[in-house]
Structure 1
């Protein structure tokens, strides 16, 4: 669903000549609205115990928004095809944080899976050309922000672990993105037309659904393995781009030369191998 959301976002930016940052704001206004609508429908008495999860909730939302900002700064100083794959470096940040701060241990095979995933991310990025030092710095900042957000999400889900998984995920997502939407409303005066907000709905809805699965995934298998599984979006994005071109739609960038495309498919496949290795060691 994340890959589909990216596709909708690319289409929106191309059709409406919108800046990526303004689109990001509009998407989160819509997601915030969806979250506020969802809250009364799935409200649970445990949500009243806000003093026990308020810091975690604020941490999840603020570090996520900061990471999003850093990501768009990286893209502004480079191109998306070079920047996006490098978000796989988040897995190394998560693994190191887990080992250093939370006494988590990983087997040799699991560290190997982390290494493969990082190698795939670097290969995928390099296939798009060299990235500038400034853009790389913003990518690293984004990875740290996303990692902190993922850890906060995991602890937020633990607060609602007595609830069914989907209900806990929906409640956690709605609480988190209500805050994100509220923050995005500060930029409402800069939006030229309400129609643009409505046009952002496909990207927003698909991202909202993606977050439901992501929150549930972190609760079930942890943030490191969840991050490795999340890296499969690289291969999915490539396949979606091929499908879009085959259907003669104008939703994405032009398909790169065959040699570059083969490199990207191989690099993305390396990440799939990492998923298999990490999961085998958990059996």
Structure 2
């Protein structure tokens, strides 16, 4: 339990940094698609190197292959939607809105795992929806295009969470940390291979590849800790810890704006930051209510 909580805390530190670095990349003129390609190639190289230590005796059975395929497809879809959105709003707003993923976790678990959802669970869902409206008042209005992209991101990322947990459980190791590292390495090795053919359509640019390194490293570290967290705590309990990233991102965004990096995180009025903080707290409360009410889904 303590290991899972520690892994979750590390995740909420690394993920907001990754979101910030992705914003830096796009604001410096790097196309979203290129960041997706460069970052996954970089992470794929690191993951393949790690995977070499697990290959002797590794059992690529049908369960592993099916879950790996699910991880790759849901993650690529979620990341594609996320990168479309990151150019349309500030990271602090986007990170908080991604907390709406809880709604989709509820729905997916109801549909595919026959999970029962009680009154308290629906209160948590309502809190999530209300937080979105509060966040919408924290700056410029969110366009329908951005809102649609956020909702799609939440749907696919919720599915990705479930598939990630199932992949960790399918690893042939007793130690959950070893299983989490192996599952992450396997997943991102596959992702790197999947996006490799993209270089037939885009010209390799050394400077852009270097610019993608900070995002790649911070995101890969976040995924290692997240996979471990999922393996120990399950997707729902892990999300109560992940919700803390909204608070971290609001604080991080405030610091970035304060030091004058307006192109990354525009300066906002005190009232706007208060709205963002309120929305972040509402998201945190929503996940807390959902878990503490006795959620049967793991």
Q: Normalised by the shorter chain, which TM-score bucket? A: 0.7 to 0.9
Q: C-alpha distance in 2, partners of 1:249/1:136? A: 25
Q: Does 1:219 align with 2:252?
A: no
Q: C-alpha distance in 2, partners of 1:232/1:121? A: 16
SS state at 1:53 partner: helix
User: Which residue in 2 is equivalent to 1:13?
Assistant: 26
Q: Unaligned regions of 5+ residues in structure 2, if any?
A: 1-13
Shift of 1:215: 1.3
Note closer, same or farther for the CA distance 1:125–1:196 as it changes in structure 2 (3 Å cut): same
Note closer, same or farther for the CA distance 1:195–1:41 as it changes in structure 2 (3 Å cut): farther
Contact 1:43/1:171 (CA < 8 Å) preserved in 2? no
Q: Does 1:79 align with 2:89?
A: yes
Q: Does 1:34 align with 2:43?
A: no
Report Cα offsets for 1:164-198 as digits up to 9, x if no partner.
Answer: 12111111111111111112222225144223212
Q: Does 1:254 align with 2:256?
A: no
Q: C-alpha distance in 2, partners of 1:17/1:94? A: 34
Shift of 1:272: 2.5
Note closer, same or farther for the CA distance 1:143–1:249 as it changes in structure 2 (3 Å cut): closer
Report Cα offsets for 1:123-177 as digits up to 9, x if no partner.
Answer: 2244233333333333332222222222211211111274312111111111111
Give the structure-2-normalised TM-score: 0.83
Q: C-alpha distance in 1, partners of 2:278/2:172? A: 38
CA RMSD of aligned residues (A): 2.6
SS state at 1:41 partner: coil
Pick from 270, 279, 285: which aligns with 1:267? 279
SS state at 1:273 partner: helix
Aligned residue pairs: how many?
280
Contact 2:95/2:245 (CA < 8 Å) preserved in 1? no
Deviates more, 1:1-10 or 1:78-87: 78-87
Q: Does 1:124 align with 2:135?
A: yes
Q: Unaligned regions of 5+ residues in structure 1, if any?
A: none
